[in-house]
């Protein structure tokens, strides 16, 4: 009978090791993968904020609705021209602030705290009305072909008649005459632009976030399984302090050591699995402008996930080692 109990307890101990490792990964995934702080740190390291002007430029030129909100003189510009415009207009600290606000809004949406994620355009509008806005406009002009004599003549007439000017790169001598016109164009653009841009909003039906929340409940409850197996193993095998220390200590050592090894050497495998999963699933949850960064999101998840798994695994293994050593001293004392 004792042999049968030990065999059953051994099965439970083996299952405990497997489920404990999975629980460490899944529980930490839930803790780390759904907070904006995780990605703000990762994106700062990956120079993501420096890519925001390119993202904003692509969003602007790819949307007919956005183009229609611009003055006629500023329509039809290339993504490269708009990127140069935004880089001149917005300093790094403003870009980081806008990026962080966007991430906070996205994760508020993911966590069901709001039904949409918006990016505030107020910093952009304020910059457009400043001297930086005029300088950015001249940067935009420099991306265009040089004005011909005919275009310069027409520009002079348009300036005198207060009409829309043709968009080309004028001589530097005309910059003082163009400055008030550009300021007027900027004011028109600021009035036309909304105060915020909707990045993503919940569909009226079949909101995919409901499934995500259900999955997160499972992730949070994942530690219950190894704890239950540990209890069953205890019921079948433990009958003294020594046996308790050994039966708990050895599985703790194995599961903790394996979890730490996975955290140290399994990053490429786990990263590849997460990236494949997230890239296929992200379109339902991410704004279109961030889909190109789904791989970076997956990498950020893996990096922040494995650090706590490493330390928690080490603590679990050391706890198990202490229990096994304690069992030895219990034996010696006897």
**What's the sign of the alpha-carbon dihedral 216, 220, 226, 230?**
negative
Residue 20 pLDDT:
94
> Roughly how many angstroms between the first and final C-alpha of the chain, as a whole number?
26
Share of the chain above pLDDT 90, in %: 16
Residue 72 has pLDDT above 70, yes or no: no
Averaged pLDDT for residues 289-312: 72
Q: Which residues have a Cβ under 8 Å from the Cβ of 254 and sit 6 or more positions away?
A: 17, 320
279: helix, strand or coil: helix
**C-beta neighbour count of 334 within 10 angstroms:** 6
Of the candidates 42, 106, 122, 110, the residue with the CA atom closest to the CA atom of residue 303: 42
Residue written as tokens 């999101």?
297
- Asked if residue 256 has pLDDT above 90, the reply is yes
Q: Which of 114, 128, 112, 120 is nearest to 186 (CA)?
A: 128
Overall average pLDDT of the 277-297 stretch: 61
**pLDDT band (50, 70, 90) for residue 311:** very high
CA-closest candidate to residue 302, choices 269, 260, 280? 269
pLDDT on residue 190 = 81
In the chain, which ranges are E strands? 116-120, 196-201
Question: What integer pLDDT is reported at residue 319 of this predicted model?
Answer: 94
Taking the domains of the chain in order of start, what are their residue ranges? 2-34+209-333, 52-110+122-193
- Write out pLDDT tens, residues 37-64: 777 776 666 667 777 787 777 766 666 5
pLDDT per position as a tens digit, 160-200:
555 555 667 778 887 887 788 778 777 877 887 778 777 77
**Highest mean pLDDT, choosing among 17-21, 118-122, 174-178, 281-285:** 17-21
Q: Is 114:105 a contact under the CB 8 Å cutoff?
A: yes
CA distances from 59 to 56, 64, 76, 120 (A): 5, 10, 13, 15
The pLDDT tens digits for 199-240 are 777 777 777 778 778 888 888 899 999 999 999 999 888 888
How large is the average pLDDT for residues 295-308?
A: 71
Indicate the SS3 state at residue 48.
coil
Q: Identify the pLDDT of residue 196.
A: 79
CB atoms closer than 10 angstroms to residue 112: 13
Closest by Cα among 326, 307, 317, 312 to 41:
307
Q: What is the mean pLDDT of the chain?
A: 78
């Amino acid at each position: 009978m004792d042999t049968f109990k030990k065999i059953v307890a051994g099965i439970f101990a083996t299952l405990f090791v497997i489920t404990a490792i999975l629980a460490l990964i899944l529980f930490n995934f839930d803790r780390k993968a759904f907070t904006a702080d995780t990605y703000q740190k990762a994106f700062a390291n990956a120079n993501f904020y420096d890519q925001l002007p390119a993202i904003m430029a692509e969003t602007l030129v790819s949307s007919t609705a956005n183009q229609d909100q611009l003055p006629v003189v500023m329509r039809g510009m290339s993504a490269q021209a708009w990127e140069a415009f935004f880089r001149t207009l917005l300093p790094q600290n403003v870009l980081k602030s806008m990026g962080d606000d966007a991430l906070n809004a996205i994760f508020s949406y993911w966590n069901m705290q709001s039904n949409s994620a918006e990016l505030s355009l107020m910093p952009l509008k304020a910059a457009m009305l400043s001297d930086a806005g005029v300088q950015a406009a001249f940067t935009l002009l420099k991306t265009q072909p040089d004005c011909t004599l005919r275009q310069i003549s027409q520009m002079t007439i348009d300036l005198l008649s207060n009409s829309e000017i043709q968009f080309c790169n004028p001589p530097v001598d005309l910059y003082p005459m163009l400055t008030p016109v550009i300021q007027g164009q900027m004011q028109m653009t600021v009035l036309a632009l909304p105060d915020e841009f909707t990045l993503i909003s919940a569909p009226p039906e079949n909101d995919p976030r409901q499934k995500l929340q259900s999955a997160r409940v499972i992730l949070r409850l994942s530690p219950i399984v190894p704890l239950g197996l540990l209890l069953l193993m205890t019921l079948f095998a433990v009958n003294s302090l020594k046996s308790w220390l050994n039966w708990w200590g050895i599985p703790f050592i194995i599961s903790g050591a394996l979890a730490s090894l996975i955290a140290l050497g399994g990053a490429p495998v786990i990263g590849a699995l997460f990236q494949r999963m997230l890239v296929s699933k992200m379109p339902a949850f991410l704004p279109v402008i961030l889909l190109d960064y789904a791989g970076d999101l997956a990498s950020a998840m893996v990096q922040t996930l494995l650090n706590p798994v490493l330390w928690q695994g080490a603590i679990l293994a050391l706890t198990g080692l202490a229990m096994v050593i304690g069992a030895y001293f219990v034996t010696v004392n006897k």
